[in-house]
A and B are shown apart, each in its own frame.
Chain A
Amino acid sequence: DTAVSQTPKYLVTQMGNDKSIKCEQNLGHDTMYWYKQDSKKFLKIMFSYNNKELIINETVPNRFSPKSPDKAHLNLHINSLELGDSAVYFCASSQDAGGNQPQHFGDGTRLSIL
Protein backbone atom coordinates (compact mmCIF):
# COMPACT_ATOMS: atom_id res chain seq x y z
CA ASP A 1 0.00 0.00 0.00
CA THR A 2 1.29 3.45 -0.93
CA ALA A 3 1.78 5.51 2.24
CA VAL A 4 1.36 8.97 0.67
CA SER A 5 -0.48 8.99 -2.64
CA GLN A 6 -1.10 11.90 -4.97
CA THR A 7 -3.37 12.23 -7.97
CA PRO A 8 -2.93 12.93 -10.74
CA LYS A 9 0.70 12.03 -11.43
CA TYR A 10 0.78 14.31 -14.47
CA LEU A 11 -1.30 17.41 -15.14
CA VAL A 12 -1.05 19.35 -18.39
CA THR A 13 -3.26 22.38 -18.74
CA GLN A 14 -3.60 25.82 -20.25
CA MET A 15 -2.63 29.09 -18.65
CA GLY A 16 -5.53 30.67 -16.79
CA ASN A 17 -7.23 27.40 -15.88
CA ASP A 18 -8.04 26.21 -12.35
CA LYS A 19 -6.83 22.79 -11.23
CA SER A 20 -6.65 20.63 -8.12
CA ILE A 21 -4.19 18.03 -6.87
CA LYS A 22 -5.29 15.48 -4.30
CA CYS A 23 -3.23 13.87 -1.56
CA GLU A 24 -4.03 11.08 0.84
CA GLN A 25 -1.91 9.40 3.51
CA ASN A 26 -2.67 6.08 5.19
CA LEU A 27 0.02 6.36 7.87
CA GLY A 28 -2.29 7.75 10.53
CA HIS A 29 -0.23 10.94 10.66
CA ASP A 30 -1.58 14.22 12.01
CA THR A 31 0.46 16.60 9.86
CA MET A 32 0.58 17.04 6.09
CA TYR A 33 2.56 19.30 3.78
CA TRP A 34 2.80 20.62 0.25
CA TYR A 35 6.19 21.23 -1.34
CA LYS A 36 7.11 22.68 -4.73
CA GLN A 37 10.13 21.36 -6.67
CA ASP A 38 11.20 23.66 -9.48
CA SER A 39 13.03 22.85 -12.70
CA LYS A 40 16.37 23.04 -10.88
CA LYS A 41 15.09 20.46 -8.38
CA PHE A 42 14.97 22.98 -5.54
CA LEU A 43 12.42 21.88 -2.93
CA LYS A 44 10.52 24.48 -0.96
CA ILE A 45 7.71 24.11 1.53
CA MET A 46 4.43 25.80 0.67
CA PHE A 47 1.94 24.78 3.36
CA SER A 48 1.56 22.57 6.40
CA TYR A 49 -1.61 21.39 8.10
CA ASN A 50 -1.86 19.75 11.50
CA ASN A 51 -5.09 17.90 12.14
CA LYS A 52 -6.89 19.98 9.51
CA GLU A 53 -5.51 23.27 10.81
CA LEU A 54 -3.10 25.45 8.79
CA ILE A 55 0.20 25.88 10.65
CA ILE A 56 2.71 26.86 7.95
CA ASN A 57 1.89 29.22 5.12
CA GLU A 58 4.98 30.28 3.24
CA THR A 59 5.08 33.20 0.82
CA VAL A 60 2.84 31.61 -1.76
CA PRO A 61 0.48 33.48 -4.13
CA ASN A 62 -3.09 33.40 -2.86
CA ARG A 63 -4.02 31.62 -6.10
CA PHE A 64 -2.88 28.54 -4.20
CA SER A 65 -5.39 27.31 -1.64
CA PRO A 66 -4.90 24.13 0.37
CA LYS A 67 -7.89 22.32 1.79
CA SER A 68 -7.89 19.57 4.39
CA PRO A 69 -11.26 17.79 4.68
CA ASP A 70 -9.80 15.45 7.30
CA LYS A 71 -6.36 14.74 8.67
CA ALA A 72 -5.68 12.02 6.10
CA HIS A 73 -6.25 14.31 3.13
CA LEU A 74 -4.69 17.55 1.97
CA ASN A 75 -5.67 18.87 -1.42
CA LEU A 76 -4.14 21.77 -3.32
CA HIS A 77 -6.28 23.99 -5.51
CA ILE A 78 -4.64 26.43 -7.89
CA ASN A 79 -6.56 29.25 -9.58
CA SER A 80 -5.62 31.14 -12.72
CA LEU A 81 -2.59 28.99 -13.52
CA GLU A 82 0.53 30.79 -14.75
CA LEU A 83 3.56 29.55 -16.68
CA GLY A 84 5.69 29.87 -13.53
CA ASP A 85 3.49 27.36 -11.74
CA SER A 86 5.01 24.58 -13.85
CA ALA A 87 6.81 22.35 -11.35
CA VAL A 88 6.53 19.08 -9.48
CA TYR A 89 4.33 19.34 -6.40
CA PHE A 90 4.96 16.92 -3.54
CA CYS A 91 2.68 16.05 -0.70
CA ALA A 92 4.23 14.78 2.54
CA SER A 93 3.15 13.76 6.01
CA SER A 94 4.66 13.38 9.47
CA GLN A 95 3.48 11.90 12.75
CA ASP A 96 2.73 15.32 14.20
CA ALA A 97 3.84 18.93 14.08
CA GLY A 98 6.45 18.51 16.78
CA GLY A 99 10.07 19.11 15.87
CA ASN A 100 12.36 16.53 14.32
CA GLN A 101 9.65 14.38 12.82
CA PRO A 102 10.57 12.42 9.67
CA GLN A 103 8.51 13.49 6.71
CA HIS A 104 7.24 10.93 4.20
CA PHE A 105 6.77 12.12 0.64
CA GLY A 106 4.46 11.08 -2.15
CA ASP A 107 5.77 10.57 -5.69
CA GLY A 108 4.73 13.99 -6.87
CA THR A 109 2.44 15.60 -9.42
CA ARG A 110 4.15 17.08 -12.45
CA LEU A 111 2.22 20.18 -13.47
CA SER A 112 2.90 21.58 -16.93
CA ILE A 113 1.34 24.85 -18.03
CA LEU A 114 1.05 25.40 -21.78
Chain B
Amino acid sequence: QQQVKQSPQSLIVQKGGISIINCAYENTAFDYFPWYQQFPGKGPALLIAIRPDVSEKKEGRFTISFNKSAKQFSLHIMDSQPGDSATYFCAAMGGGNKLTFGTGTQLKVEL
Protein backbone atom coordinates (compact mmCIF):
# COMPACT_ATOMS: atom_id res chain seq x y z
CA GLN B 1 0.00 0.00 0.00
CA GLN B 2 1.54 3.26 -1.14
CA GLN B 3 0.79 5.76 1.61
CA VAL B 4 2.33 8.71 -0.22
CA LYS B 5 1.56 9.00 -3.93
CA GLN B 6 3.77 11.23 -6.06
CA SER B 7 3.40 12.53 -9.60
CA PRO B 8 4.63 12.93 -12.23
CA GLN B 9 7.22 10.19 -12.45
CA SER B 10 9.35 12.37 -14.70
CA LEU B 11 9.29 16.01 -15.73
CA ILE B 12 11.10 18.08 -18.33
CA VAL B 13 11.10 21.85 -17.88
CA GLN B 14 12.78 24.62 -19.80
CA LYS B 15 15.34 26.79 -18.05
CA GLY B 16 13.56 29.60 -16.25
CA GLY B 17 10.27 27.72 -16.08
CA ILE B 18 8.31 26.47 -13.09
CA SER B 19 8.61 22.83 -12.02
CA ILE B 20 5.63 21.44 -10.12
CA ILE B 21 5.59 18.07 -8.35
CA ASN B 22 2.51 16.81 -6.55
CA CYS B 23 2.00 14.43 -3.66
CA ALA B 24 -1.04 13.01 -1.90
CA TYR B 25 -1.20 11.12 1.36
CA GLU B 26 -3.73 8.93 3.09
CA ASN B 27 -2.70 8.76 6.72
CA THR B 28 -4.16 11.70 8.66
CA ALA B 29 -1.64 11.05 11.44
CA PHE B 30 1.12 12.46 9.25
CA ASP B 31 2.21 15.84 10.61
CA TYR B 32 5.52 16.62 8.92
CA PHE B 33 6.08 16.78 5.17
CA PRO B 34 9.65 17.17 3.89
CA TRP B 35 10.94 17.23 0.34
CA TYR B 36 14.26 15.65 -0.50
CA GLN B 37 16.53 16.22 -3.51
CA GLN B 38 18.77 13.43 -4.74
CA PHE B 39 21.57 13.72 -7.29
CA PRO B 40 23.02 10.61 -8.98
CA GLY B 41 25.39 8.75 -6.70
CA LYS B 42 24.40 10.82 -3.68
CA GLY B 43 22.04 10.42 -0.77
CA PRO B 44 18.77 12.34 -0.47
CA ALA B 45 19.25 15.83 0.94
CA LEU B 46 16.54 17.74 2.78
CA LEU B 47 15.32 20.63 0.64
CA ILE B 48 12.36 22.12 2.47
CA ALA B 49 9.69 20.89 4.89
CA ILE B 50 6.26 21.96 6.09
CA ARG B 51 3.90 21.23 8.93
CA PRO B 52 0.12 21.05 8.30
CA ASP B 53 -0.66 24.16 10.34
CA VAL B 54 0.54 26.35 7.44
CA SER B 55 -0.62 26.34 3.83
CA GLU B 56 2.59 27.52 2.21
CA LYS B 57 6.29 27.72 2.92
CA LYS B 58 8.87 29.40 0.73
CA GLU B 59 12.65 29.14 0.79
CA GLY B 60 14.37 30.89 -2.08
CA ARG B 61 13.11 29.43 -5.34
CA PHE B 62 11.42 26.49 -3.61
CA THR B 63 7.84 26.65 -2.32
CA ILE B 64 5.68 23.99 -0.69
CA SER B 65 1.92 24.37 -0.99
CA PHE B 66 -0.14 22.33 1.46
CA ASN B 67 -3.86 21.50 1.33
CA LYS B 68 -4.81 19.71 4.52
CA SER B 69 -8.44 19.04 3.60
CA ALA B 70 -7.45 17.46 0.29
CA LYS B 71 -4.46 15.69 1.87
CA GLN B 72 -2.23 17.00 -0.87
CA PHE B 73 0.99 18.96 -1.03
CA SER B 74 3.21 20.13 -3.84
CA LEU B 75 6.67 21.47 -4.54
CA HIS B 76 7.11 24.42 -6.86
CA ILE B 77 10.56 25.28 -8.19
CA MET B 78 10.56 28.77 -9.63
CA ASP B 79 13.07 29.88 -12.30
CA SER B 80 14.20 26.27 -12.75
CA GLN B 81 17.90 25.86 -13.55
CA PRO B 82 19.88 23.00 -15.13
CA GLY B 83 21.52 22.49 -11.72
CA ASP B 84 18.07 21.60 -10.34
CA SER B 85 18.04 18.46 -12.48
CA ALA B 86 17.73 15.68 -9.93
CA THR B 87 15.24 13.25 -8.43
CA TYR B 88 12.82 14.78 -5.96
CA PHE B 89 11.05 12.84 -3.23
CA CYS B 90 8.17 13.96 -1.12
CA ALA B 91 7.82 12.28 2.25
CA ALA B 92 5.61 12.23 5.29
CA MET B 93 6.12 11.51 8.96
CA GLY B 94 3.72 11.18 11.86
CA GLY B 95 3.77 10.06 15.47
CA GLY B 96 7.47 9.35 15.58
CA ASN B 97 10.44 9.44 13.28
CA LYS B 98 9.44 7.03 10.53
CA LEU B 99 9.66 8.68 7.10
CA THR B 100 7.38 7.37 4.36
CA PHE B 101 8.61 8.39 0.92
CA GLY B 102 6.82 9.03 -2.33
CA THR B 103 7.99 7.23 -5.45
CA GLY B 104 10.16 10.07 -6.73
CA THR B 105 10.10 12.49 -9.67
CA GLN B 106 13.01 12.72 -12.06
CA LEU B 107 13.35 16.37 -13.07
CA LYS B 108 15.33 17.50 -16.06
CA VAL B 109 15.78 21.19 -16.74
CA GLU B 110 16.77 21.88 -20.32
CA LEU B 111 18.63 24.91 -21.64
- Answer yes or no: do A and B interact: yes
Identify the A interface with B (CB < 8 A). Answer: 4, 31, 40-45, 48, 55-56, 90, 92, 94, 97-108
**A100/B93 in contact, CB under 8 A:** yes
Question: Is B43 in contact with A4, judged by CB distance below 8 angstroms?
Answer: yes
Contact with A along B65-93 (1 / 0, CB 8 A): 00000000000000000000001010001
B51 interface contact, C-beta 8 A:
yes
Query: In the complex, what's the smallest C-beta–C-beta distance from A30 to chain B, in angstroms?
Result: 10
Contact between B99 and A42, CB atoms less than 8 A apart: no
Minimum CB–CB distance for B89 against chain A, Å: 7
A90→B43 contact, CB < 8 A:
yes
A97-B96, A106-B43 given; 18 more Cβ-contact pairs under 8 Å = A4-B43, A31-B97, A40-B103, A41-B38, A41-B87, A41-B103, A42-B104, A43-B101, A56-B96, A90-B43, A92-B43, A98-B97, A99-B32, A99-B93, A101-B97, A105-B36, A105-B43, A108-B42
Known: A40-B103, A43-B89, A102-B34. A97 touches B97 (CB 8 A): yes
A42 to B103, CA, bound (A): 5
Measured CA separation A4–B42 after assembly (Å): 12
- B20 contacts A by Cβ under 8 Å: no
Chain B residues contacting A106 (CB-CB under 8 Å) are 43
Asked if B104 contacts A107 (CB within 8 A), the reply is no
A81 to B49, CA, bound (A): 36
A48-B98, A100-B51 known; A43+B93 contact, CB < 8 A? no
Chain B nearest CB from A66 CB (Å) reads 15
Given the known interface contacts A99-B32, A99-B93, A99-B94, the answer about A104 and B99 at a Cβ–Cβ threshold of 8 Å is no
Give 10 CB contacts A-B under 8 Å: A41-B103, A42-B101, A42-B103, A45-B100, A56-B96, A92-B43, A97-B97, A100-B49, A103-B99, A107-B42
